[in-house]
Structure 1
């Protein structure tokens, strides 16, 4: 009886993990201010998808207190293969700090082939430079 009980718990845990993996949003972002070493809250970020020669906005959100947006992709649609662009409105962050910046807006274009994976785009930010990469 004990064996059946523990087996049931393991199956429930596995099912829960699978549900979370399927339900998780396929795209997240994070901004870290390298000058202060702190997360960058309050920055508007938009997601766009390339359609022909034009860009169509899919979503927009604002970074939280940890500088993150955990669910950037629209929740009512599965991610499609194609070209995307994340646009970080970093000028508003530096305007709040009353600090000059060379990059008031940072567009990051990327291509998605595997729609069953999670894509994380971190932005390492300073007033006169930035770096990004595909995280997980």
Structure 2
């Protein structure tokens, strides 16, 4: 269970349930300001923020927004130069088969910088994998120059029952990657 808070001007308590996902958004309705007009404004702002968080986490069909539960291989790309997710980045996944790379999946990052549903548990087997990120096209779409035309991250999977998350922190002239959770 995660509790999101605190909300400025409020005391966090477990009083409200946002969704069945185990994420609780909670607050005590006492506002430090004495004006009822300010309280109404704060309540409206909080309601809008909670709606935004709910919409970010869940689609209309109540499934996880990024499909992370379905795929044993996930990625998340963050544009650290601008402090935003890297949306619309083409991603290719390949695996070594018979001593050669074979492409097994393609995708494009969503507005949150994630690429949902890349592989299924049936197609994710032990082996050597490569994720190729088309970074040059991404930076060109932002009208920015880039040093790296693409980034390839090669990694080994020994236990395909574990989740593998490849995080990529990206700027026009540098990048960093790690296995996330």
Question: What is the TM-score normalised by the length of structure 1?
Answer: 0.79
Alignment of 1:80 with 2:125, yes or no, is yes
Alignment of 1:50 with 2:96, yes or no, is yes
Task: Give per-residue Cα distances to partners, 1:26-69, cap 9 Å, x unaligned.
Answer: 10011000100100100000000011331000010000000101
Match of 2:148 in 1: 103
Unaligned runs of 5+ in 1: 1-22
Give the ranges of 4+ consecutive aligned residues of structure 1 lying more than 4 Å apart after TM superposition: none
Q: CA deviation at 1:98?
A: 1.4
8 Å CA contact 1:29, 1:72 repeated in 2: no
Q: Where do 1:54-133 residues align within 5 Å?
A: 54-73=100-119, 75=120, 77-133=122-178
- Corresponding residue pairs, total: 113
Match of 1:40 in 2: 86
Q: CA deviation at 1:24?
A: 2.7
Q: CA deviation at 1:104?
A: 1.4
Q: CA deviation at 1:76?
A: 7.5
Q: Higher relative CO (CA 8 A, sep ≥ 6), structure 1 or 2?
A: 1
Question: What is the TM-score normalised by the length of structure 2?
Answer: 0.60
Alignment of 1:29 with 2:75, yes or no, is yes
8 Å CA contact 1:28, 1:72 repeated in 2: yes
Larger Rg: 2
Rounded Cα–Cα distance in structure 2 between residues aligned with 1:36 and 1:112:
32
Rounded Cα–Cα distance in structure 2 between residues aligned with 1:134 and 1:121:
5
Structure 2 vs 1, CA of residues 27 and 43 (structure 1 numbering), >3 Å: closer, same or farther? same
Rounded Cα–Cα distance in structure 2 between residues aligned with 1:131 and 1:72:
21
Rounded Cα–Cα distance in structure 1 between residues aligned with 2:81 and 2:121:
37
